[in-house]
Amino acid sequence: MGKSKVLVVGATGYIGKRIVKASLDQGHITYVLQRHEIGLDIDKLQLLLSFKKQGARLVEGSFSDQKSLVEAVKKVDVVICTLSGVHFKSHSILMQLKLVDAIKEAGNVKRFLPSEFGMDPARMGHALAPGRETFDQKMIVRKAIEEAEIPFTYVTASCFAGYFVGNLSQLETLTPPKDKICLYGDGNVKAVYMDEDDIATFTIKTIDDPRTLNKTLYMRPPENILSQRKLVEIWEKLSGKELEKITISGEEFLASMEDKDYAAKGGMGHFYHISYEGSLTNFEIGEDGEEASNLYPEVICTRMDEYLKIFL
């Protein structure tokens, strides 16, 4: 059968660039959508050209030109979209509806992986506003995919290490605190922390795997299921310094959101569900899902003690 040809949409983004690398590393012919809208964004252009040097193929297209999207899709077997779904960047989830239309029109795609990579939106109907908008929009895209009878895999990747581990899950910073640490509740609610390169590796593994067809992939390697308190303990052991711990109750955390702007409230709402409700670990994976490390035991995930060493 050979390996599927892949189109990555949103390739210059945080996860997208890693998806491109993983696709090439795993031997897939990889196309990258070069959108007309980049204009004079030299950083994005140079990143696209770096993909080309690595062996990717650039294909021009635009969400304002449906024909160009259809032509790009016709070149491949699998489409992976990584458009941003966070408010402090560009919130582009519903732009995927045009991509869904293009895939339906092209009629050749055997797998579509829409932009998800966080919490499972199907489990977040109760989410706080305004962060709920992200989950609601992802469900709109899912509905369109399934109504169009497009084969899919939904990827839920849990907490990105870059945003949740280096800072020991503190807000408004990406590096470890020097003296004090805020613990959410008792600090014992468990989350799943994933190195972003591992997320990309697992994602590409799914695209030719019949076990993940029309299912949700959850990333829950046992060694990366940790409480915030455990994450702090790992850092204290590595750094040789104990941090002063300040406990923040759920009520205090919610109250602190009130004077924040729209984007901050959205992110903090997601943070609340992860840190206080355990929304990444408080359910069993059912028949409509698969767990990545069970399917692909050959992938050795980055452990968070190894990840944190770079901050010493």
Sign of CA dihedral 152, 163, 276, 284: positive
Q: Which residue from 81, 74, 26, 31 is spatially nearest to 56, judged by alpha carbons?
A: 31
CA distances from 43 to 22, 145, 224 (A): 21, 32, 33
Which DSSP letter does residue 249 get? -
Q: How far apart are CA 200 and CA 209, in angstroms?
A: 15
Work out the angle at residue 190's Cα, subtended by the Cα atoms of residues 18 and 212, and round it to the nearest 5 degrees: 45
Q: Which residues are catalytic?
A: 138
Q: How far apart are CA 18 and CA 242, in angstroms?
A: 34
Please count the residues of the chain. Answer: 312
Q: How far apart are CA 235 and CA 288, in angstroms?
A: 36
Neighbouring residues of 193: CB distance < 8 A, sequence distance ≥ 6: 158, 159, 161, 164, 165, 224, 226, 231, 304, 307
Which DSSP letter does residue 274 get? I
